Amino acid sequence: MAGPLTGFRVIDLTTMVSGPVATMMLADQGADVIKIEPPGGEYMRKSGQQYRGMPSSFLSCNRNKRSLSIDLKQPEGLQAVKKLAATADVLVQNFRPGAIERMGLGEDVVRSIQPKIIFVSISGFGERGPYSGQRVYDPIIQAISGLADIQRDRESGEPRMVRTVIPDKTTSVTAAQAITAALLHRERTGEGQHVRLSMLDTMIAYLWPEGMSGLNFVGNEVDPAKAQMGLDLVFKTVDGYITAAAVTDSEWAGLCRALRREELIADPVFKTPADRSTNQTERRQMITDELAKWKSDEILERFKAEDVPCAPILDRWAILEDEQIRENRVIEVHDHPILGLVRQPRPAARFDRTPAKGSALAPFLGADNSAILTEAGYSADDIARLERDGVLHSQAN
C-alpha cells in the first residue's frame, strides 16, 4: 500500500536539521522527495560519525529521499532544477533571507514555472527585523526564545541549554504539518501559496502554553517561572534514578500511600492542586527525601499499583531493550547493501490504510542523478555530458 502523500513531489533544497527532518517526514508518508545538493554535499554530510561514506547524523535526517547533486552556479544546473520544479508540488528551502533569490530560484521564478506550487521558506528569525540576516543554529534560538531561561538551574540561577536540538526539530514538525495543510488547501481550491516559518516564531508558540502562561493577562502578569507547570522531576533512589508525577488529587493520594506518608494526603500544605503548586518546592523536597529510601524497582511497583504516573530513567542503551519500545516495534533494523545492519526509528504516525514507511535509508550523494534527470526529460547522452562538464556530482562508495 502507498503512503498518504504518494503522488506528491517535493524539491528539497534544505540543509542541516530543521528542513531535512521536515521533508523526511513527508518522504516517510510517501512523497517523492528529491534532495538537491551542491558538489560535495550539504554540511551534514561532512559532520559527525562517518561509516562507509555515510554520516550518522545525515542518515537520520534524510530517510526515503533521492539525491541529486548538481552545481546550481552553472546555468545548466540551474536549468535542470527549474525543469524539476515544473513537475513539483512543493519546494522547501531554509537559506538565509534573500539567498534563494540570488540563486535564481526565488518564488516569482518558481511560480512562473509551476503556478500551483507550495513554496516553503524556513528561516531562523523571519524575513524582517534586526536579527533576520544573522546566521543561526539551535542554541541561538534556545537562548532568545526563553527555553534556556525555562531550563534555568533552580539553585544557581544559571540558564541551561537542552542537550538536543529542540528548536530545529520542533520547526521540522511545524513545517511538515504546514506543508500538508497547504496541500490540502490546494487540493480543494487549486491555489498554491508561500508558507513562511521561522525557528524563533515556532519555539515561542511551542513554549507558550505552560512555559509562558504567566504572561497571558496584560497588566496582571505573574513571574513566568512561578507560573510554569514543569518541574525537575528527576529523583534519586537507593540504586538509580526514576521520575514520578502526581497532578490530580487521586494521584497525590496514591503517591502518599506508596511512600507510606498517608498523613500528607490531607495536609493543608498539599491538600489541593493549588496548594501543591504554591508549595511545589516543599513538595519536591519531600518526595526527594522519601524516594532516597527506596530501591527503584520496589517503589515503581508501588506507584504503579496506586496508578501514579512513573518510570525508570533509562540510559540510551537501555531504550533498545525496553519492553514497551520492543512491543511497539518503534526501532527497526534495516539490511543495507553497503552499510550493513542499520537501526532507525519507524515513522511515529501510523496510518491503517496508507502506512508510512522508513524502508529506504538516506541516499549517498548523487545516487539518483541519472534517474531523476531521465524523469525530467534528459537523455543518457545529456546526462553523460553534464557529468563531464562538472555540472553533476556523485559520491564514490
pLDDT recorded at residue 138: 96
- CA–CA separation, 170 and 199 (whole Å): 8
Contact between 157 and 149 (Cβ < 8 Å): no
Highest CATH level, class, for 9-206+328-393: alpha beta
Beta strands at 235-236 and 241-244: parallel, antiparallel or unpaired: antiparallel
User: Same topology for domains 9-206+328-393 and 235-312, yes or no?
Assistant: no
Instruction: Enumerate residues 6+ apart whose C-beta is below 8 A from 271.
Output: 265
- Give pLDDT, residue 379: 97
Q: What does the pLDDT read at residue 227?
A: 62
Q: What is the pLDDT of residue 229?
A: 57
**Domain locations in the chain?**
9-206+328-393, 235-312
Instruction: Give the CATH number of domain 235-312.
Output: 3.30.1540.10
Q: Which pLDDT score, from 0 to 100, does residue 181 have?
A: 98
User: How confident is the model over 166-185, as pLDDT tens digits?
Assistant: 999 999 999 999 999 999 99
For the entire predicted model, the pTM comes to 0.93
Bridge partners of 196, per DSSP, are 121
Q: Could you tell me if 313 and 29 are in contact, meaning their C-beta atoms sit under 8 angstroms apart? A: no
- How many Cα atoms within 13 Å fall on the side-chain side of residue 321? 4
CA-closest candidate to residue 103, choices 114, 113, 93, 90: 93
Give the amino acid at 214.
Answer: G
Predicted pLDDT at 359: 80
Closest CA to 298 of 253, 250, 247, 239: 239
Question: Which pLDDT score is estimated for 397?
Answer: 44
List of the chain residues with pLDDT < 50 = 397
* pLDDT at residue number 216: 87
3-state SS, residue 322: coil
